[in-house]
Structure 1
Amino acid sequence: MAASNVSIRDISTKSEAVQEITFSKVGQIRAINRRMRILALNALIEAERAGAAGRGFAVVSQEVRGISEEVEKLSTALEAELANEIGQISTLVQEMSEGSQGQRLVDLALNAIEIVDRNLYERTCDVRWWATDSAFVDALSSPSEDAFNHAARRLDVILRAYTVYLDLWLCDLNGNVVASGRNNRYPAIGTNVASRPWFKSGIGLRSGDDFHAEDVAREPILGNALVATYATPVRVGGEASGRPIGLLAIHFDWEPQADTIVRGVRLSDEERENSRVLIVDRGGRILAASDGRGVLTERIDNLGRDVSGWSFRNGSQLIAHHLTPGYETYQGLGWRGVIVQNFDALR
């Protein structure tokens, strides 16, 4: 388990050892007491045989039996009291262990979603910056095959420098892709994407300072790859206040980037074998998973509306989560970092 839990585990181990030693000593006292009772009984029998000469010895024997009974009562009471105290200590240690690990996993979940936020913030900067490129403004202002080809070459240059994208598309106001950075690999030019949610939301943005961030989805034109698409209009003169003349859409290659993040969370080897690190959307749908399972098909329900928290499910399944805090001008999409851990396997 984590280094932060070593001392707690130590306390738990020592508590168990103290309990074992204590009950062992109480058991020894009881064993000695039983021998005293047998001796007292034997002495009483012999005193009866001795008749009048043994009466004094009989009195002593009775006293020994009385003391034995008192010792038995004390040992029983001691055992019960110690069992209660040790039980309380064990419960406290358990609560401390759970609380420590729960908060640690919350912190790791936050770290994961913060890395996602910072990464996606850069995508929002890219799309707003590139939408002002003169090659794109000219191609949409004065449409021609040469202008579109020039824009496509410019998109290709950007893609070679920014390897986190699958493709970049320049679209006209009707949603037709007029230029693409990788048309040889992903034939997009000439297709209409007006029905895509990111186009519908992006084309209506009021200012060049605005952008639309779409939830992770599979894009058929890009080989059904998982992408996070960012869009903003290209405007007259490349000015933030200019009239929209088209749209730039950039497709972030989500799967490998997200996989690096969820697999890079600081867990021990033992924890990694018993944990799933996830990124989920606002509805709990899994967008990335350290074990590669359930992406876009599985949900983690009932995380609540709190910014963060942890809880147990099904007895030993510890679930910790943290809501996206956003980064700079990127407010996030309500995503969460989540860690699901088999807590019992790590005790």
Structure 2
Amino acid sequence: MTIHGTDQSDQSGALADGDTDPARIVALTADVRETTESKVAEIQAVTGRTKILALNALIESARAGDLGRGFAVVANEVKGVSEEIAEIAGALRGELSAKVELLDQIGRSIVDHLRGQRMVDLALTAVELIDRNLYERTCDVRWWATDSAVVECLGHPSPEAQAYAAKRLGVILSAYTVYLDLWICDLNGQVIANGRPDRYGARGYSVSSEAWFREALATRTGEEYAVADISLNGVLNNAPVSTYAAAIREGGEAQGAVLGVLGIHFDWGPQARSIVEGVRLTEKEARRSRALLLDAELRVIASSDGVGMLTEKVDLRTEGKRAGHYSQPDGTVVGFHRTPGYETYDGLGWYGCIIQGP
């Protein structure tokens, strides 16, 4: 969890496009290998028959005595030519086999590289989409923390002010369906108002031990915010949430004295699921692929197959790289890309990851 400000630089990623099918190289190489073997075998079969004919001719010429000597010379020449052709065919098979094998290796290497790069591009797309989504959450929390009803609820606390603030939060929630609830917390960490009191019994709950609360209290200006990694929230029916928090300041001013904290709970499950399930895999690819979002600890925080949420940890071989791909012994290809961040949101070190079976 980290406090974030406004001095982050823009970063972006690009997708590689292309409509060629490099797998054709491998297929054509296999055709060349098969044709080479077939034609060389045919040549060797013909030379074998020629040798037999030459041998028969020599036998017949020997029976003919002096009359067959000239024929014997021709038969020997035919035999010699057939042996030369057999040697040439053998050499041709050896040379072509080595070159076809090299061509096959090159073709497969190209296919593997392009396949891996495609996985990287898809992983980048996934993590970029969630970054842009979460950037908006950082804007929301900083904006709503300056709402006059939210500020008044802490600046001049009363049951009426708290009720009105809860009503205002409810109005926000009716327009922003990506949130489960919004909480106004006093300096002691007690929730004094929330936007959905009829659904969640958050009022009176203490968040004083939550890192997002403590870090929001420690922010220096209204331009800063705190964010927590994905976790299950017991008050919100044990739903997975991403919590963003900003200090509520006197007068709603960026440099005003801190009165409390606004915590907004992003409904992580359906939003993240739409990202990983929306990765542009072909139908054939989708049957053997997993699209994942991983946190900085490489825990699964979203998966296209719905498996491993917050329980599975992926042994991702990043080797210190921001992005890359590699093949496993069974032919599985793994592509990954670390969050590039978006605008003032620099991300939490998350990764997009695609794991595609052979």
Q: Please indicate the TM-score interval, normalised by the length of the shorter structure.
A: over 0.9
Structure with the largest fraction of helix? 1
In structure 2, what is the equivalent of residue 332 of structure 1?
347
Determine helix, strand or coil for the equivalent of 1:234. Answer: strand
**Among candidates 283, 287, 294, match of residue 273 of structure 1:** 287
State the Cα distance separating 1:57 from its structure 2 match: 2.7
Q: Deviations over 1:153-197 (max 9, x none)?
A: 111111001000000000011110000111211100011111122
Q: Deviations over 1:259-278 (max 9, x none)?
A: 01111111111111111111
**Among candidates 52, 55, 63, match of residue 69 of structure 2:** 55
> How many aligned residue pairs are there?
342
In structure 1, what is the equivalent of residue 323 of structure 2?
308
Q: Quick check: 315-324 or 58-67, which moved more?
A: 58-67
Q: Quote the Cα distance in structure 2 between the aligned partners of 1:314 and 1:171.
A: 52
Change (3 A) 1:144 1:3: closer
RMSD: 1.6
Unaligned stretches of 5+ residues in structure 2 = 1-15
In structure 2, what is the equivalent of residue 234 of structure 1?
248
Q: Deviations over 1:79-127 (max 9, x none)?
A: 1111112112211111111111211221111111111111000000000
Change (3 A) 1:232 1:3: closer
In structure 1, what is the equivalent of residue 28 of structure 2?
14
In structure 2, what is the equivalent of residue 252 of structure 1?
266
Determine helix, strand or coil for the equivalent of 1:7. Answer: coil
Bigger relative CO (Cα 8 Å, ≥ 6 apart): 2
Unaligned stretches of 5+ residues in structure 1 = none
**Among candidates 202, 210, 221, match of residue 216 of structure 2:** 202
Q: Quote the Cα distance in structure 1 between the aligned partners of 2:17 and 2:164.
A: 57
Q: How does 1:1-347 map to 2 (within 5 A)?
A: 4=18, 6-301=20-315, 302-342=317-357, 344=358
Determine helix, strand or coil for the equivalent of 1:222. Answer: coil
Is the Cα–Cα contact under 8 Å of residues 168 and 250 in structure 1 kept in the other structure?
yes
Is the Cα–Cα contact under 8 Å of residues 229 and 250 in structure 1 kept in the other structure?
yes
Determine helix, strand or coil for the equivalent of 1:90. Answer: helix
In structure 1, what is the equivalent of residue 9 of structure 2?
none
User: Which consecutive segments of 4 or more residues in structure 1 shift more than 6 A?
Assistant: none
| Percent identity for Structure 1 against Structure 2 | 50
Q: Quote the Cα distance in structure 2 between the aligned partners of 1:36 and 1:4.
A: 52
State the Cα distance separating 1:4 from its structure 2 match: 4.3
Determine helix, strand or coil for the equivalent of 1:287. Answer: strand
State the Cα distance separating 1:5 from its structure 2 match: 6.6
State the Cα distance separating 1:201 from its structure 2 match: 1.8
State the Cα distance separating 1:6 from its structure 2 match: 4.9
